[in-house]
């Protein structure tokens, strides 16, 4: 036997190399196979040929379609893994067929609605993958009589706000302030905005939904069942299926709202303002939202020295006189005067928060701003006990030392404290004073800059450890942060998922696990931080291992034959 093995093994290796090469060459026909499958499975009345909604890497439009909704330039490099195909469905049946065909071909499916995915997990992967880009599915239907709006996943928040305003000047919806965020990702991950203290999160106002599940079925609330409906209201839609649309409950807004922006530096008593803000912002009138930005800047008073500037941006569901009177009593340290305030309609306040000029018309919200991207990193935390004066002064020193990373404090309280933590997967309710977003942007595309700014943000996050929630140190899913854990979907999938899952979902993680295992037992819908399946359910390991083989079972059988394992 020893004398024959040296002759057999090289031959075996040669066969294996040839087989693998042939199978990878065959992957060039993924486009043909996928389109052929789509034509078989899509019952579409659309006049658009299905081949026209699928972009292979050799398509002249491939790069522009991929880049259009990349919002973080860190994931727009030549070294960033690219999808083998981009599918741009224009009908629900295209989504259903895409799920079935990706499954049939054993290729991972990534779902992108708006691209405001801080870690880009909706459009890159270390595995062979397809991007299902939802931007063509963006219809919005407002029903003022019913007090609701149906919004498809690929619509932007700006488009939704505009369509609501078209129908009513006294209705709105409590979602995010960035107008180019996609409805699908925003709402499925929680979704908050400047009316969260009055009306809660976007997910607290979801009435119905449509989702395509792993079997390619189009389900609504009734047919999907309450467990899955619960899971896609803050658990991240990409773990459970493809969100097609949400039916949302409209909320009342006054004809006049008031906004203001007030800035202070350390030389202008900013520390005292921050101390009082922590007390007032989470407990004041529910109609008042005061976001606070903290940023290291160059001092105007002490030339050449650094200081910290705080900026309070606020919206009040009422007039300026009411607001000035309220904060005169509750927050005299701010020194708010009527001339600091601007009264405007709710739709104009949407434009104000989005940093448009004051005279900008609402139609600007319909501009989706494709190819608009920065280099950025975001992280998150929750604060449950106010930070002391000593703590703040120490923090200022650290922020100045680091250089650029800023903090955004978003106050809770109000409606957020009244909704039970288990009502939706989003658990961060009563007991949280405010959420922190760590924020740094940069322009240089070099590796050295990226390393520098990522290190800055991670150090500031580390410095904040004494001041934030513990056991777990909680995080917000829509401020996606791969630093807090990544799932490789190998043998330790459950344990890896638990690391980030408990931070994002606290006690709700267990229920999400059960829903995931029930609706997607083979873990077809997955990303680097998706909900894993339970270890005693249908293991995701089997799904992953088979889909990663060049040609599935034949490859395994060939090796078995060659090494005598048959």
Residue positions annotated with a catalytic role? 479
How far apart are the C-alpha atoms of 525 and 237, rounded to whole Å? 9
Name the CA dihedral angle for 263, 267, 273, 274, rounded to a multiple of 10 degrees. Answer: 90
Give φ, ψ of 276 to 5 degrees. -70, -35
Q: Name every residue whose Cβ is closer than 8 Å to that of residue 334 and which is 6 or more positions away in sequence.
A: 262, 273, 276, 277, 312, 327
Q: Is 226 exposed, middle or buried (0-12, 13-18, 19+ CB in 10 A)?
A: exposed
Exposed / middle / buried, residue 43 (Cβ in 10 Å: 0-12, 13-18, 19+): exposed
Kindly state the DSSP code that residue 37 receives in the 8-state scheme. Answer: H
**Please, which residues have CB within 8 angstroms of residue 226's CB and are 6 or more apart in sequence?**
none
- CB-count burial class (<10 Å; 0-12, 13-18, 19+) for 132: buried
The Cα diameter of the chain in Å comes to: 96
Spatial CB neighbours of 155, under 8 Å, sequence gap ≥ 6: 137, 138, 139, 140, 182, 183
Sign of the CA dihedral running 421, 427, 432, 435: negative
d(CA 382, CA 529): 19
Contact predicate 219/213, CB 8 Å: yes
CA-wise closest residue to 484 among 375, 378, 412: 378
Q: Which helix (H) or strand (E) holds 496?
A: helix 493-505
The number of helix segments (H) and strand segments (E) in the chain equals 19, 18
> Would the CA dihedral through 366, 54, 188, 529 be positive or negative?
negative
**Cβ atoms within 10 Å of 78's Cβ, excluding its own:** 5
CA-wise closest residue to 249 among 157, 150, 139: 150
Report residue 78 as tokens: 């030549």
Contact 530, 520 (CB under 8 A): no
């Amino acid at each position: 036997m020893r004398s024959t093995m040296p002759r057999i093994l090289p031959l075996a290796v040669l066969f294996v190399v040839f087989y693998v090469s042939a199978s990878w060459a065959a992957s060039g026909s993924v486009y043909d196979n996928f389109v052929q499958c789509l034509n078989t499975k899509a019952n579409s009345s659309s006049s658009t040929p299905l081949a026209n909604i699928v972009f292979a890497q050799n398509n002249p439009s491939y790069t522009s379609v991929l880049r259009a909704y990349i919002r973080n330039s860190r994931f727009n490099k030549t070294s960033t893994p690219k999808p083998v195909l981009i599918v741009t469905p224009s009908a629900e049946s295209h989504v259903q067929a895409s799920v079935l065909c990706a499954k049939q071909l054993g290729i991972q499916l990534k779902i992108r609605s708006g691209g405001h995915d801080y870690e880009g997990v909706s459009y890159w992967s270390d595995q062979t993958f397809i991007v299902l880009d939802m931007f063509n599915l963006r219809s919005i239907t407002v029903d003022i009589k019913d007090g609701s709006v149906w919004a498809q996943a690929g619509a932007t928040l700006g488009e939704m706000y505009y369509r609501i305003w078209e129908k009513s000047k006294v209705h709105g919806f409590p979602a995010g302030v960035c107008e180019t965020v996609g409805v699908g990702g925003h709402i499925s991950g929680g979704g908050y905005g400047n009316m969260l203290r009055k009306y809660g999160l976007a997910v607290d106002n979801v009435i119905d939904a449509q989702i395509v599940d792993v079997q390619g079925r189009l389900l609504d609330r009734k047919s999907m069942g309450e467990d899955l409906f619960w899971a896609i209201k803050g658990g991240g839609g990409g773990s459970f299926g493809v969100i097609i649309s949400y039916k949302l409950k409209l909320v009342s807004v006054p004809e006049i709202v008031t906004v203001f922006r007030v800035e202070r530096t350390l030389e202008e008593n900013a520390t005292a303002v921050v101390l009082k803000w922590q007390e007032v912002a989470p407990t004041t009138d529910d109609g008042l939202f005061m976001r606070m930005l903290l940023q290291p800047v160059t001092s105007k008073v002490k030339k050449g020295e650094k200081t910290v500037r705080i900026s309070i941006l606020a919206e009040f569901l009422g007039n300026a006189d009411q607001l000035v009177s309220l904060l005169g009593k509750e927050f005299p340290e701010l020194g708010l005067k009527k001339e600091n305030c601007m009264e405007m309609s709710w739709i104009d306040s949407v434009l104000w928060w989005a940093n448009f000029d004051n005279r900008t018309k609402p139609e600007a919200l319909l501009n989706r701003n494709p190819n608009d991207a920065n280099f950025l990193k975001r992280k998150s935390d929750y604060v449950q006990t106010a930070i002391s004066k000593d703590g703040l002064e120490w923090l200022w020193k650290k922020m100045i030392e680091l250089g650029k990373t800023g903090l955004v404090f978003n106050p809770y309280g109000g409606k957020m404290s009244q909704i039970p933590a288990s009502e939706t997967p989003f658990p961060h309710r009563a007991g949280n004073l405010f959420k922190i977003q760590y924020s740094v942007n940069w322009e240089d595309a070099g590796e050295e800059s990226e390393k520098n700014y990522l290190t800055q943000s991670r150090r500031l996050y580390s410095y904040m450890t004494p001041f934030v929630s513990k056991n777990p140190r909680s995080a917000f899913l829509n401020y996606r942060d791969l630093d807090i854990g990544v799932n490789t979907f190998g043998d330790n999938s459950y344990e890896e998922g638990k690391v980030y899952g408990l931070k994002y979902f606290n006690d709700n993680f267990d229920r999400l696990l059960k829903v995931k295992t029930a609706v997607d037992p083979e873990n077809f819908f997955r990303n680097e931080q998706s909900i894993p399946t339970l270890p005693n359910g249908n293991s995701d390991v089997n799904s992953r291992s088979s889909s990663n083989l060049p040609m599935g079972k034949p490859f395994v059988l060939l090796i078995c034959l060659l090494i005598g394992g048959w």
